Amino acid sequence: MTTYVLADTRALTGRSLRHVLRSPDTIITTAVTPVALMLLFVYVLGGAIDTGSEESYINYMLPGILLITIASGIAYTAYRLFLDMQGGIFERFQSMPIARSSVLWAHVLTSLVANLVSVTIVVGVALIMGFRTGASVAVWLAVAGILVLFTLALTWIAVIAGLSAKTVEGASAFSYPLIFLPFISSAFVPTDSMPGPVAWFAENQPVTSIVNTIRALFAEQPAGNDIWIALAWLVGILLAAYAGAIAVYRRKVS
């Protein structure tokens, strides 16, 4: 049974990736906004922002930019799922001898691949802009692992949105708060520079611990409790979103 699920998922993932390759502008569009933000913050606002650190501002803000890149990209997952639902693709797949779960996993894996490509583009631009790190390959792999978890967690939220939306606009609009969340975190300025209630929210929302962890890893410094808080948030959101997505999917296809 597992072999059939894996084979079906591989085939459907190939189908979804071919759609992305035919329309590479989705990946380019996903990378454009984060790159524009880097240019704005580094070359226009960066000189006026005191991070309390001697490191360059591009090093400071890149972790937050990477999360914004992923949050922007997952909107396309919800969009593609919505189009498949409206186009009757799901009903067609139900009439075929394929595993039901493979349909969702194909979209999730496509999102993972597409977002990793976008993140790679953004990191490449950051290197051109002066980002530097002495991090080892193991550290880069750790950062990649955190970004993969972040992508999976948000993608399963996107699955819920794509299955539940009534309009194309509604399918992708859910991502706007997720894109905005890094701005109320430690991604661009230290949280202690914010007013009391805002600082409390920024310090206790998941993005701050994730950003602090990635920043510490790139700077070859101890991540402290931030890494455990980040992993707890990521795993918790991932499990909750996965359970919610499966429940919505079963209700839709039953």
pLDDT at residue number 43: 84
CB contact at 8 A, 121 and 25: no
> DSSP H helical segments within the chain, as ranges?
2-22, 25-40, 57-86, 89-94, 100-129, 137-164, 168-173, 175-180, 196-204, 206-218, 226-253
Confidence check: pLDDT of 4 > 60: no
Whether pTM exceeds 0.75: yes
Indicate the pLDDT class of residue 1, thresholds 50, 70 and 90. Answer: very low
Confidence check: pLDDT of 45 > 90: no
Mean pLDDT (the chain) is: 83
Contacts of residues 177-180 at CB distance under 8 Å and 24 or more positions apart, as own/partner, are 178/71, 178/74, 178/154, 179/68, 179/71, 179/72
Question: How many domains is the chain partitioned into structurally?
Answer: 1
Confidence check: pLDDT of 50 > 80: no
pLDDT at residue number 57: 87
pLDDT at residue number 165: 76
Give the domain range for residue 52.
2-253
pLDDT digits (tens, 9 = 90+) for 57-102: 899 999 999 999 999 888 888 877 777 676 666 556 555 555 566 7
Structure-block tokens of residue 29: 């569009």
pLDDT digits (tens, 9 = 90+) for 166-219: 777 777 777 788 888 999 998 888 888 888 899 999 999 999 999 999 999 999
